[in-house]
Amino acid sequence: MQLLEEDRKPDSRPTVPAFVETSVYRRITAKVALLGKLGGLGYIIGPTGLGKTTILRQLARRGGFEHPDGLRPSTAYWRCSGSERDKKAIVGGVRDAFGLREYVPRHVFRELREYCAGGSGAVFLLVDEAQHLTRGAISLLRTMSDDGLRVVLCGNRSTLGERFTWGTNDFRSEAAWDDEWAQISSRSVFTVELDKPAREDVLALVTGAGVPASDRAALSVLWKVSQSGEGLRRVATLLRTALEDPDGYPYRAEHLMELWDEQQRQSRPRGLA
């Protein structure tokens, strides 16, 4: 999704694109397409700032299918939270996402089976922030996947010592984590584990925002920012801040470095600045 220089108006102000088609996007969409054919569950794991939420929301914008009651969504996005993470929340989220009428859980399951069977294609539920889910909620989602719903669980496996512990706050040894993850993912169709942004993805974002590919100094600063934490999100924030400068070329390397240093100072806990 890179913008060509000749497509830009000379006097136009660059903007940071809301979405770029990165290698991570292509990787995830290929896996989701496979899930659509095979059914079941898929897992996406990675630190914040890599575009996982943006990709899920982009996938959820896909069209629906004709239903006797009208056009129905084929893909729904649902964001888990600390207070909305148990089986009751899952049932309510699925009912609201697909416009189901039933409220009693077993009736919701029956209606969901009919909903999945009645469409012209696969039906997906994309669950964001899935690290907050309780084990009971995950078990319920497995049952729903057996009934025809394609489920993608996306969550954060972030800093050193923290693990995707699915609704708990404890810290696990590597051996305990490996045993638990093997049980959790035993029925998954795919698991995508993400790390830091790839160079091509950083380049796609920054050139899409108007940074010339020939500006090696600016690209060097932005690459450093992308590898320091929060990935593409941090880069996009820095680019938007740089665009607030009304004078001249906003992406001067010195200017970007000054903004980056200031953002780092502001993000430090008090007493450590």
6 pLDDT band, cuts 50/70/90, is: very low
Is residue 107 within 8 Å of residue 86, measured between CB atoms?
no
d(CA 59, CA 176): 34
What pLDDT is stored for residue 132 in this prediction?
A: 86
Give percent above pLDDT 70 in the chain.
77
- The 3-class secondary structure across the chain, one letter per residue, is CCCCHHHCCCCCCCCCCCCCCCHHHHHHHHHHHHHHHHCCEEEEECCCCCCHHHHHHHHHCCCCEEECCEEECCEEEEECCCCCCCHHHHHHHHHHHHCCCCCCHHHHHHHHHHHHHHCCCCEEEEEECHHHCCHHHHHHHHHHHHCCEEEEEEECCCCCCCCCCCCCCCCCCHHHHHHHHHHHCCCEEEEEECCCCCHHHHHHHHHHCCCCCCCHHHHHHHHHHHCCCCHHHHHHHHHHHHCCCCCCCCCCHHHHHHHHHHHHHHHCCCCCC
Q: Look up the pTM and report it.
A: 0.79
Interval 205-226: pLDDT, tens: 999 999 999 999 999 999 999 9
If 0-12 CB within 10 Å is exposed, 13-18 middle and 19+ buried, where does residue 12 land? exposed
Farthest-apart Cα atoms in the chain, separation: 62
> Is a pLDDT exceeding 70 seen at residue 7?
no
d(CA 68, CA 4): 45
d(CA 40, CA 145): 5
Q: How many CB atoms lie within 10 A of CB 123?
A: 24
- Residue 2's contacts (CB-CB under 8 Å, 6 or more residues apart) are 20, 203, 204, 207, 208
> Is a pLDDT exceeding 80 seen at residue 164?
no
Is residue 32 within 8 Å of residue 75, measured between CB atoms?
no
From 57, 3, 48, select the one nearest 29 (Cα to Cα): 57
- The crossing angle, in degrees rounded to 10, of helices 199-208 and 216-226 is 120
Q: Which of 13-17, 26-30, 73-77, 103-107 has the highest mean pLDDT?
A: 26-30
> Is a pLDDT exceeding 70 seen at residue 185?
no
d(CA 123, CA 36): 8
